[in-house]
Chains A and B, each alone.
Chain A
Amino acid sequence: MTRLLRGLWLERQARWGLVLVAALCGLAVLAPWIAPYDPAAQLDLAQGQYLAPSTLHPFGTDFYSRDLLSRVLYGARISLSIAFLSVLVSITVGTAVGMTAGLAGGAVDRLLMRGVDAALAVPRVFLLLVVVALWEGVSVTGLIVVLGLTSWFGTSRIVRAEVLSLRQRTYITAARALGIGPRRLALRHLLPNLAAPVIVAATLGIGQIILIEASLSYLGVGVPPPTPSWGSIIQEGQQALAVAPWVATFPGLAIVATVIGFSLLGDGLRDTLDPTTR
């Protein structure tokens, strides 16, 4: 583990990724303690609306005189937790499907991969839009599940490829010759080797999911109000673009920073864990 961190630290871009991600996660976790105000508190409806950024309100206030910085911080909590959990779902399903396809081979493999290819062709936001909307607006849990269930396709392909290549390795053949059953084989021998590419895919996937969740929230079908999500804040901000541009700007910057962080981290992990893909 320390070796991994060291490897990441040495590569300049990966270092940035690590720093950004660590900082953002830290902020998200500590939000309840470092946020200056309650994100839902409407502080002063008479005079506190759309205040420009100042020392009192570093990010300004919104239409309901809520402090924007606090909202963005809590938004980080929401968006990051949703992303992490969704990715968890997605890599679980993706690994399961990928392993099955890779190990079973033949018709099962072909069928599964055809399905995956078709699914990859579908526009994700579109699909999610339709799915989520039909359920009358889902709870956060539902959102996590749905996001996870629509994001596993890429992971399954990666896992399948790895499994196919690992199958050829001699230690697998040796294990089979010793009579080790397929389930044990999968869990004890294949899984650890899949860890590296799956972790890379997961890290990069977090960034993607954050973007998608933000898009859904922007459109009004993501996280339900008044829970702050970066996407919905931007949507609110667009209404007041001429009057209070900061409302739309800051959450967006947060998103960009987060996604860049995870992208750099993901690339760095890939280079460190699997130098053959350089």
Chain B
Amino acid sequence: MIVFLVATLTFVLLQVAPGDPLTRASEITLVPQQVLEQQRRNFGLDRPVHVQYARYLANVARGDFGYSFREHRPAAAAIAERIPNTLLLAAAALVITFALGILIGALQATRRGSAADELLSLTSLTLYSMPVFWLGVMLLLLFGVTLGWFPAGGVVDDAIYPYLSPLGRLGNRLHHLILPAVTLGAVGAAATARYQRAAMLDVVGQDFVRTARAKGLRERAVFFRHALRNALLPVITLFGLFFPLLLSGSVLVETVFAWPGIGKLAVDAIHGRDYAVVTAVAIIAAIMVVVGNLLADLLYRLADPRTREAQ
């Protein structure tokens, strides 16, 4: 449903924008007028709007997003190549967000009011107020440039990658993944920590925690199996909310670290007036968000037995 809306919206925007894709393209590479006219006819750009719309939808449904003049190949191909990179980055960032966020939030809850708690809250606030790309640049500055620990960008070192053993390859990949993943995940971690802390404080006062203690369980069991398990529930709802943020974030982070994913592709395409790719990315992004939301919903159902259907 949403995907359909997004596709339509993109189409509308494209139509409304001044000029048409070919005019733009011709500004980049000089193309004689006749060829332009020819191409226009080929792509049906001289047909009335509703016809174009119908063709557009039909094409999209088939996965044909049009031709990218910039890359001289179908837009779909460009996307297919880049998606795995973005997914990798997003997955890594999610892991960082939740692992870090949950741990820190739970920790803060157990040490409520202490200096550590205040400090962590302050750090969270600062991270939350930072533009993601600046965090990336600063991390790059500190770890990439000054300390030289991590590379400045890219997925792997193209020069040496082919010569590495499988383990070496994995290591190389991880090496390149760390900074961008941390950048993308840090802001989310700050938000998650805040939520988790509040949830833990809430749960700890509840009756069933007292019951668990009265049963003579070890404090660790009380903490993990009873308190944390329940405190995780509201945090899981965050999971679904994070997807659109991840996407926006990846546009920025991929640009900072020259990470060849669809975020960077989008930016490049926009600068290069590559409308086919832009359209394609928009639609793919919408699909990803929807899928993400479904996943989040599923996860929540798994976690909270009260939301499952009657047995």
Interface set of A (CB-CB < 8 Å, partner B) = 118, 121-126, 129-131, 133-136, 207, 211, 214-215, 218-221, 231, 234, 237-238, 241-242, 245, 248-249, 252, 255-256, 259-260, 263-264
Contacts and interface: CB of A to CB of B under 8 A. Distances in A.
B266 interface: yes
A252 B278 contact: no
B17 A211 contact: no
Nearest to B142: A245
Contacts of A134: 13-14, 17, 275, 278
Given A123-B244, A218-B255, 7 more contacts: A123-B243, A124-B244, A125-B249, A136-B17, A214-B133, A252-B130, A256-B126
A1 B112 CA distance: 34
B251 A219 contact: yes
Contact of A123 (B18, B132, B245): B245
A242 B145 contact: yes
Given A118-B5, A234-B133, A263 B125 contact: yes
9 contacts: A124-B244, A125-B251, A126-B244, A133-B271, A135-B17, A231-B131, A241-B141, A249-B141, A255-B134
A241 B140 contact: yes
A214 to B, nearest CB: 5
Q: Interface on chain A toward B: helix, strand, loop, or mixed SS?
A: helix
B293 interface: yes
B289 interface: yes
B285 A123 contact: yes
A135 B16 CA distance: 9
B83 interface: no
Interface of B: 2, 5-6, 10, 13-14, 17-18, 125-126, 128-134, 137-138, 140-141, 144-145, 243-249, 251-252, 255-256, 266-267, 270-271, 275, 278, 282, 285-286, 289-290, 293
A237 B129 contact: no
A255 B141 CA distance: 18
Contact of A238 (B129, B137, B245, B293): B137
Contact of A219 (B6, B244, B252): B252
A220 B141 contact: no
A238 B251 contact: no
A125 B248 contact: yes
B67 to A, nearest CB: 18
A244 B139 CA distance: 15
Contact of A215 (B14, B252, B282): B252
Given A121-B293, A122-B289, A134-B14, A241 B137 contact: yes
Contacts of B13: 130-131, 134
A131 B279 CA distance: 11
B184 to A, nearest CB: 13
Contact of B267 (A131, A219, A256, A259): A219
A130 B137 contact: no
Contact of B133 (A121, A218, A260, A263): A218
B280 to A, nearest CB: 11
Contacts of A118: 2, 5
B302 to A, nearest CB: 22
Nearest to B270: A133
B128 A248 contact: no
B137 A260 contact: no
Contacts of A256: 126, 129-130, 134
B254 to A, nearest CB: 11
A215 B132 contact: yes
A158 B51 CA distance: 41
A266 to B, nearest CB: 11
Contacts of A131: 13
Contact of B289 (A121, A130, A211): A121
Nearest to B289: A121
A135 B138 CA distance: 31
Nearest to B146: A245
Given A123-B285, A238-B137, A259 B129 contact: yes
Given A126-B251, A245-B145, A252-B130, A221 B2 contact: no
